[in-house]
Structure 1
Amino acid sequence: MWAFRRASIRLRNRGLSSATARICCGKSEIERFCLDYNSGFNDPQEKLFDGLLSSTRFYNTSSSSLKLHREVRTFSSSLGAKSSGGEDDDLEDGFSELETPPSAPQEANDGDEIGDDLISKSDLSEDDSVADNINDELEVFGSESDAGEKKSTKSGGTSAMTEAILAAPALSVSTVMDKWVQEGNEVTEEAVILTILQLRKRRLFIKALQLSEWAESTKQLEFVNESNYASRLDLIAKVRGVHRAEEYLKQIPESLKGELVYRTLLANFVSVTNVKKSEELFNKMKDLKFPITCFSCNQLLLLYKRIDKKKIADVLLLMEKESIKPSLFTYQILIEVKGQSNDITGMEKVVETMKAEGLKPNTHIQASLARNYATAGLKDKAEAVLKELEGDGIVKNRWVFQLVLPIYASLGREDEVARIWKVCESEPRSNECIAAIEAWGQLKRIEKAEAAFNKMLKKITNPSSKHFCSLLKVYANHNMLAKGKDLVKRMAESGCNVEPLTLDAIVKLYVGAGEVEKADSILEKAVKQKRARPLFRSYLALMDKYAHRGDIHNAEKIFLMMRRAGYKSRLQQYQSLLQAYINAKAPAYGFSDRLKADNLFPNKVLASQLARVDAFRKSAASELLD
Structure 2
Amino acid sequence: LLETASKRGMDLTASHEAIKIDLLSKIKGIVVAEKYFTDLPEPSKNHQSYGALFNCYCNGKMTEKAETLMEKMKEQKFVSNPLAFNSLMALYSKGGKPEKVPAVIQDMKANKVMLDVFSYNVWMRSLAALGDIPGVEKILDEMKGDNSVTADWTTYSNIASIYVNAGLKEKAEDALKELESKMDVHRLPAFHFLMSLYGRTGNLTEVYRVWRSLKLACPKTVNLNYLIMIQTLVNLGDLPGAEKCFKEWEADCPKYDVRLPNVLIGAYVKGGEIEKAEAMREQAVSRGAVLNTTTWEIFFNYYFATKQFNISVKCMENAIAATGKRDKNKWTPAQETVESMMTHFEEQRDVDGAENLVQILKKAGSLNSAVYESLIRTYVAAGKKSPDMRQRLETDNLKVNPETEKMLQSIST
TM-score with structure 2 length normalisation? 0.63
Gaps of 5+ in 2: 346-353, 386-413
In 2, distance between residues paired with 1:386 and 1:301? Answer: 30
Asked if 1 retains the 8 angstrom alpha-carbon contact of 2:195 and 2:229, the reply is yes
Q: In the alignment, which residue of structure 2 is the partner of 1:618?
A: 377
Specify whether residues 488 and 255 from structure 1 end up closer, same or farther in structure 2 by C-alpha distance, changes over 3 A only: farther
In 1, distance between residues paired with 2:133 and 2:26? Answer: 37
In 2, distance between residues paired with 1:458 and 1:347? Answer: 41
Q: In the alignment, which residue of structure 2 is the partner of 1:465?
A: 223
Larger RCO, structure (CA 8 Å, separation 6 or more) = 1
Which letter maps to 1:312? T
Residue in structure 2 matching 1:559, options 304, 320, 335: 320
Q: How does 1:232-243 map to 2 (within 5 A)?
A: none
Asked if 2 retains the 8 angstrom alpha-carbon contact of 1:582 and 1:613, the reply is no
Gaps of 5+ in 1: 1-245, 529-533, 603-609
Residue in structure 1 matching 2:51, options 258, 272, 295: 295
Q: In the alignment, which residue of structure 2 is the partner of 1:365?
A: 119
Specify whether residues 352 and 546 from structure 1 end up closer, same or farther in structure 2 by C-alpha distance, changes over 3 A only: farther
Q: Output one character per residue of 1:233-263: Cα deviation in whole Å (capped at 9) or x when no partner.
A: xxxxxxxxxxxxx7x9869986375453464
Specify whether residues 458 and 490 from structure 1 end up closer, same or farther in structure 2 by C-alpha distance, changes over 3 A only: same
In the TM superposition, residue 498 of structure 1 has moved relative to its aligned partner by 5.9
In 1, distance between residues paired with 2:340 and 2:372? Answer: 6
Q: In the alignment, which residue of structure 2 is the partner of 1:406?
A: 161
Q: Output one character per residue of 1:398-446: Cα deviation in whole Å (capped at 9) or x when no partner.
A: 5444443333333333322433444576896334433321221111212
Q: How does 1:220-259 map to 2 (within 5 A)?
A: 255=10, 258-259=13-14
Q: In the alignment, which residue of structure 2 is the partner of 1:435?
A: 193
Q: In the alignment, which residue of structure 2 is the partner of 1:92?
A: none
Structure with the bigger percentage of helix: 2
Question: 1:568 aligned to 2:328?
Answer: yes
Asked if 2 retains the 8 angstrom alpha-carbon contact of 1:428 and 1:456, the reply is no
Asked if 2 retains the 8 angstrom alpha-carbon contact of 1:547 and 1:576, the reply is no
In 1, distance between residues paired with 2:110 and 2:146? Answer: 25
In the TM superposition, residue 557 of structure 1 has moved relative to its aligned partner by 2.5
Which structure has the bigger radius of gyration?
A: 2
In 1, distance between residues paired with 2:86 and 2:209? Answer: 34
Specify whether residues 510 and 386 from structure 1 end up closer, same or farther in structure 2 by C-alpha distance, changes over 3 A only: farther
Q: How does 1:263-342 map to 2 (within 5 A)?
A: 263-264=18-19, 275-277=26-28, 279=30, 282=33, 285-286=36-37, 289=40, 291=45, 293-304=49-60, 309=61, 311-318=62-69, 320=71, 325=78, 328-342=82-96
Question: 1:419 aligned to 2:174?
Answer: yes
Specify whether residues 318 and 580 from structure 1 end up closer, same or farther in structure 2 by C-alpha distance, changes over 3 A only: same
Question: 1:485 aligned to 2:243?
Answer: yes
In the TM superposition, residue 296 of structure 1 has moved relative to its aligned partner by 1.4
In 2, distance between residues paired with 1:474 and 1:355? Answer: 40
Q: In the alignment, which residue of structure 1 is the partner of 2:212?
A: 454
SS across alignment from 2:377: coil
Q: Output one character per residue of 1:321-359: Cα deviation in whole Å (capped at 9) or x when no partner.
A: 676645633332332333344433233344344444433
In 1, distance between residues paired with 2:340 and 2:14? Answer: 52
TM-score with structure 1 length normalisation? 0.45
Specify whether residues 462 and 265 from structure 1 end up closer, same or farther in structure 2 by C-alpha distance, changes over 3 A only: farther
Specify whether residues 542 and 577 from structure 1 end up closer, same or farther in structure 2 by C-alpha distance, changes over 3 A only: farther
Q: Output one character per residue of 1:60-82: Cα deviation in whole Å (capped at 9) or x when no partner.
A: xxxxxxxxxxxxxxxxxxxxxxx
Q: How does 1:509-588 map to 2 (within 5 A)?
A: 509-514=264-269, 517=278, 522=284, 526-527=289-290, 548=305, 550=309, 551-562=312-323, 564-569=324-329, 573-574=331-332, 576=334, 579-583=337-341, 585-586=344-345
Which letter maps to 1:554? C
**Number of residue pairs the alignment of both structures matches:** 347
Deviates more, 1:576-585 or 1:281-290: 281-290
Q: In the alignment, which residue of structure 1 is the partner of 2:351?
A: none
In 2, distance between residues paired with 1:249 and 1:488? Answer: 50
Asked if 2 retains the 8 angstrom alpha-carbon contact of 1:434 and 1:453, the reply is no
Deviates more, 1:447-456 or 1:364-373: 364-373
In the TM superposition, residue 455 of structure 1 has moved relative to its aligned partner by 1.4
RMSD: 4.7
SS across alignment from 2:123: helix
Which letter maps to 2:159? V
Specify whether residues 461 and 589 from structure 1 end up closer, same or farther in structure 2 by C-alpha distance, changes over 3 A only: closer
In 1, distance between residues paired with 2:49 and 2:361? Answer: 42
SS across alignment from 1:491: helix
In 1, distance between residues paired with 2:14 and 2:297? Answer: 39
